[in-house]
Every structure is written in structure tokens, then in C-alpha cells.
Amino acid sequence: MRRLAFRRWAFRRLRLDYPRANRSGVRRWLPSWRQTALVFLLCFGSLLSALSYVYWKTEIPENLNEFATQQDNVYYWADGTEMARTGPVNRQDIALDKVPEKVQWAVLAAENASFYSDSGISPSGLVRAVSKMVTGGETQGGSTITQQYVKNAYLNQKQTFSRKLTEMFIAMKLDDKLSKEEILEGYLNTSWFGRGTYGIQRAANAYYGKNVSELNVSEGAFLASLLKGAGTLDPAVSRAGHRRAVERWEWVLDRMVKIGKLSKKERARYTRFPEPIAPPKQVGLSGQTGYLVETARAFVSSHTDISDAEFDLGGYQIHTTFEKPRVEALEKAVDATLGGLDPKARAADRNVRVGAASVAPDGRITALYGGPDYLEQGFNDANASNVPAGTVFTPFVYAAALRDGVLREREGERVPVSPETVYDGDDKVAVHTPEGPYWDRGGKIVRGSNDGGRSWGQVTLRKAVEDSINTPMIQLGMDVGLDRVRRASVDAGLLPSSFGGPRVPVFSLGTATPSAIRMASAYGTFAAGGVHASPYSVASLARNGDEVTMEASPKARAFSSEVAGEVSEALQGAVRQGSARQAAAAGPDVAGKTGTEQDNKSAWFAGYTDTLSTAVSVSRLDPKSQELLPLTGLGGADPSRTGSTYPIDIWTRYMRQAPAS
């Protein structure tokens, strides 16, 4: 009784003596160490009680999560008919004793070296998760293999506090229920390794074409590396991915040495990265279908928060913007035009690449041509960013001038220009800046040149666009300012990444390397009265019938309707009586522009009607060096001629065959 009375007295005194009566000033409001200790014990006890209750209530789920019921992803044409299916998920369970011991330890070294001695959870991870209780938000990393297996097999990939806490409690219970070997086997069979594969057996086949039992420790170290993020560590995806893969692979092997599971002598044998085989292409993606699926998949990846691992689980319905009749018409037009090539007889006809795309004024990509066959050539030429635009770029110079005016004197004001503004169209005319002549690094005045060395005399800007006269466009770009020209082209729809070269006078003649998709989209800005709609290939996305939210494709005004109208008039003039007269066969009111790169290594045609903008590029690519080759003599043409009629041939044939909107 005395002890109980003392406790009541002590608690009452601690509770009532605040603010502290025998203190003054700030100290009156500072709690004593006893009061602080009491509050800490109360909070700690409450937290411990809460965690104990949650642990007691948490049970190991009876069934695996949706991973056990993977599905295909289904792609649909714009009219709602089925276009393609990808999947099912590539997975095959394998017994742990079939996985070489050193491959097992490569995984453990990479992910959880203390696996066999820990209790199934990471104390540091638990501390981080609990620390989020007050502030909320997402937890991060630090999971043990047991926790990762729980996440893979029973829960989901979201890093919320509640999911993390549940994961830890199930892991603790699972660690008591199953042996370490059973947990490791489950983990290896449920982990995502990229390339659509779940489980180390299918990963071994996808990356090395062999069973997991045949892997050596070096190959196993690479597969273990993928567990950190297969989407960014596949060497076949990009050069940056290859570099990251090599760095991670080296780290895993070094880590194995550090934990005593690989001798230094054996480590010294593995100095060359075990290059994986090329990713297998899925049957059913032949012809243009693979390019369409790839484009739509990339759009989903960039406009949602769905990870590659989640997408590979399947169950998604992807409704694309691609119109089957247009895709077929475009492919037929390319095949018919290229049918005149003879690569066996003419070296100039070899290694020809064509990229083409159609984009509606509202941004819908309705058709594209990515190559002869996705299963033969996986690279999508419709989205290639290595082909210089050439003079198909000059309408953006013209639009920038009409929008922003020009600056001819160093201290002068910007002067408006119109389609009737006159420029010197002679060949070899000197290029000027507001300060005077433009000198190159060799100390010579830079002079522009026209196709065939022709001099046109004084010409209006409209005529310069219509007849593709180079020298006025070079000087106009300098007068507008090359930064403003670049800004206008980006506003129209070209990507900033297209501009890798220096800002020199020939910039206005198309040193940028946009894709056919982006060029069609940018020309579509003029068709839409100056409003640019970002191109998109997926109209809607669902998972098992439930709509999935995607980021909206933005629209923005790039030019006034008057400026867009003036550009369209000049491009219609190019078709009626200028350099693109051949395209007039596609119908009335067609607007378009031919384009040739200065070194004759690419040729373009971009044109539009009120309802559709289409761009076509033709180039030749050395398969060994991946460098562009000249188009000189392509199709038996006169070697003295520059450019090529093939892009405008394809465009005109396609527009005549494609169904009306």
C-alpha cells in the first residue's frame, strides 16, 4: 500500500508541477529530466504496444498475390480490334539445389549477405519505416531477402509505411515457419530479372540461352546485378545501361571476395564482362506490329508510374491511336517505292533506311513505318534521332522570323518581316551578323550555297521557302538569331535533344536530328493553326477493365494563327509551283517541303493536309560503324544530283492510298 501510495504521489507531483512552480523564466517551462523520462517511457510503451498488436494481428496470407495469375497485355487498334498480345510472363520454378552454390552466393552478396544469420528483417529498415510513422510518405530500401520474397509473393511493390510494416511482420513469421533454403528458393523463383522474366531459371535462358545450372559465377554475378533494377541494367538497352551493368557486375564479384565466398585467385579470372545474348523478339510482333507495340509501350512507361516489373505481370489493355488501314497503306507505299532498288547490282542501294510517321493535328499518331520487319530489324526508324533534317527544317526559320522579327544592327531594334520581305538569293553570298561578316575558324568569310550553284537574285522569303533556296534561309536565321530559331522549332514540336551541334550558320539548313514522329508533329502545328499538341500513341489504358490514369498530352500555342497561315501558304506554294510539285498528285491544298542534308546523307519530305501531317526520311546507315552514308546514286540517280526523290515518292503514294479521315 505504501508503494502504491508513493507512486500516486510521485505521478501527481510530476503531473501537477508543470509549469514548474519553483522555477522562473524559461526554466519554468522546461520539463525536468524525470518528466522527460516519463513522457519518453509512455511514448515508447505505446509504440511498442501498437507494434506488438499489429504483429499479433498480421498473418501470412494463404494465397500468393497476382504474380501467380499473370496475364497477357493486349494492344488494340484505334477502332477497338485486337492488334497484338505480349506475354505471358516468362517464369519457371527451379529447385534451389539446381542453382550453383556460387550463383546463390552472388545473389546473397548483392542483396543480403547476412541472410543465413538474420531474423528475416533489417533492423535499420525497421527504424526507417517506423520513423515515417509521424511524417508519412514512402519508405526506402534496406530489405532482407525474406522481406523481398514477402513483397514479391504476397504483397505489392508500393513503398508505403503500412505495406513496409506488414512486410516486416510477415517476414519475421515466415522466417520462423520456413527454412532459409525454402525462402531463398522462393525468392529466386519470384524475382523480376527484366526481359519479361520472373525467376532465375528463365533469366538464365533470356540472357545466356542456358539453364541456371550451367551458369558460372561471372554470369551469376550479372544476373544478381539485375535485382537492383533490371530496367536500367540491361546492357542491350543503352550504352549507359551497359556501363551501369559492368560496374554493378564488378561490384558483386568484389563483394563475394569480401564476404569470403570467392577467392581472389578465382576473382582474377573474371576480367571480361559476360555479355548477354540479344533480347529475344516475341512471335506475333512481325512486320510493323512490333514497332507499334514498342512505341505504345514506351508511351505508357513515360506517362504513368507503372514500373516495368508491374507491366510484365500483365493484365493491361492498351488502346492505341494507330489506324490499321493507314499503317498498311504506309507500308505498301514504302515497299512499292523501294522496290526499284537493286542492292545486288548497286552499292548505293544497300543499307537504305526509311522512317515515316503520320500525326493528326490533335497529336494522335495514326501510322508509322519503323523498318522492314520488327523481327529482322528491331530498331525503330520512325523514332530514330540520328538523321539530319536538312532543308525540311527551314519552315521553322521562316516561322521564327514571322513571329519574332529580325535584328540587323548590333544596337538596333527588332524589325518585323513579312512573306514579301526581300533577301539575296544568289549563290555564294556572304553571311552576316549584326556586327558584320561571319568568319569561320580558318579566317574566311562564310558563304552560303544553293543546290546546283544556282543564283536566284533578289527573292521574297515566301519564294525562298517555295523553291528551297538556301542562302536567304541561312541569312534569315542569322538575322532572327539561332537561339530564337531553335526555340521556335521546339515550340512547334521538335525535342530539345535533337539539337546536338554548334550554333553556326548551317544550323538553319537542318543540322538537327529529329525523328519522323516529331517532324510530322511539328509540321502538324502549322496545320492546326499554330497550336502544338504533343504526339501520343495510347488513347486509353486499363488493367483488367479498370481505367488507369495517364498523364495528359499537353497542348500549347506556338505561333499565332496568322503566322501559321503564312507558313502554310508558302508550303502550299512549294507543292503548287515550287520544289515539291510532285506532291500535288496527293490532292488539293497539300502543303509540304522537301529536305536535303548538306552532305547528302539524308533526304526528307514532310507535308500535311487539314487532317493529317506525315514525315518521311530516307538515309543509308553503315551496319558496322553506324555512320550515315551518302545517298549519291541511290536508285541509279545521276551522281551529280543531291537529295533523293524517294521521300516525296513514298509520301505521295501513301497519301493517295490512305483512307480519308
Q: What is the CATH number of the domain that holds 142?
A: 1.10.3810.10
Per the domain annotation, does 143 fall within a domain? yes
- The reported pLDDT for the residue numbered 125 is 57
Same domain, 16 and 115: no
- The reported pLDDT for the residue numbered 198 is 85
Same domain, 131 and 24: no
- Listed in sequence order, the residues at least 6 apart from 303 whose beta carbon sits closer than 8 Å to its beta carbon are 536, 538, 550, 551, 553
Among 245, 234, 239, smallest CA distance to 196 is for 234
Among 321, 359, 333, 221, smallest CA distance to 540 is for 321
Same domain, 258 and 124: yes
Same domain, 155 and 103: yes
Same domain, 167 and 26: no
Same domain, 8 and 143: no
Per the domain annotation, does 218 fall within a domain? yes
Torsion of Cα atoms, 593 then 596 then 602 then 606, to 10°: 0
Per the domain annotation, does 328 fall within a domain? no
Per the domain annotation, does 154 fall within a domain? yes
Rounded Cα distance between 634 and 350, Å, is 9
Q: Are 508 and 476 in contact (CB under 8 A)?
A: yes
Rounded Cα distance between 614 and 356, Å, is 7
- The reported pLDDT for the residue numbered 62 is 52
Give kind and range of the element (H or E) at residue 557.
strand 555-557
Rounded Cα distance between 173 and 167, Å, is 10
Q: Decide which of 15, 35, 57 is a domain's last residue.
A: 57
By three-state DSSP, how is residue 634 classified? helix
Same domain, 96 and 226: yes
Structure confidence by residue, pLDDT tens digits, 209-226: 999 999 999 999 999 999
Rounded Cα distance between 557 and 31, Å, is 62
**Residue type, position 373, single letter:** D
Beta strands 602-608 and 591-596, pairing class: antiparallel
User: What's the chain's Rg over C-alpha atoms?
Assistant: 33
Rounded Cα distance between 462 and 417, Å, is 11
Same domain, 53 and 92: no
**Alpha carbon 200 to its chain's center:** 27
- The reported pLDDT for the residue numbered 140 is 43
Rounded Cα distance between 430 and 455, Å, is 13
Per the domain annotation, does 372 fall within a domain? no
Give kind and range of the element (H or E) at residue 320.
strand 316-320
Per the domain annotation, does 248 fall within a domain? yes
Write the burial class of residue 568 (CB in 10 Å: 0-12 exposed, 13-18 middle, 19+ buried): buried
Per the confidence metrics, is the pTM higher than 0.85? no
Same domain, 26 and 135: no
Residues with pLDDT less than 50, the chain = 6-7, 9, 11, 14, 16, 51, 53-58, 60, 133-134, 136-141, 157
By three-state DSSP, how is residue 138 classified? strand
Q: How many domains does the structure of the chain reveal?
A: 2
Sign of the C-alpha dihedral, residues 631, 636, 639, 645? negative
**Residue type, position 91, single letter:** R
Q: Decide which of 232, 267, 302 is a domain's last residue.
A: 267
Q: What are phi and psi of 27, to 5 degrees?
A: -60, -25
Per the domain annotation, does 205 fall within a domain? yes
The β-bridge partners of 85 are 74
Same domain, 108 and 245: yes
Among 657, 647, 377, 327, smallest CA distance to 519 is for 647
Rounded Cα distance between 91 and 64, Å, is 15
Residues spanned by the domain of 119? 88-267
Same domain, 141 and 243: yes
Same domain, 124 and 243: yes
Q: Decide which of 232, 247, 267 is a domain's last residue.
A: 267
Q: Which residue has the cell 539524308?
A: 602
Per the domain annotation, does 544 fall within a domain? no
Rounded Cα distance between 279 and 286, Å, is 15
Q: Are 351 and 108 in contact (CB under 8 A)?
A: no
Structure confidence by residue, pLDDT tens digits, 291-333: 999 999 999 999 999 988 889 888 899 999 999 999 999 999 9
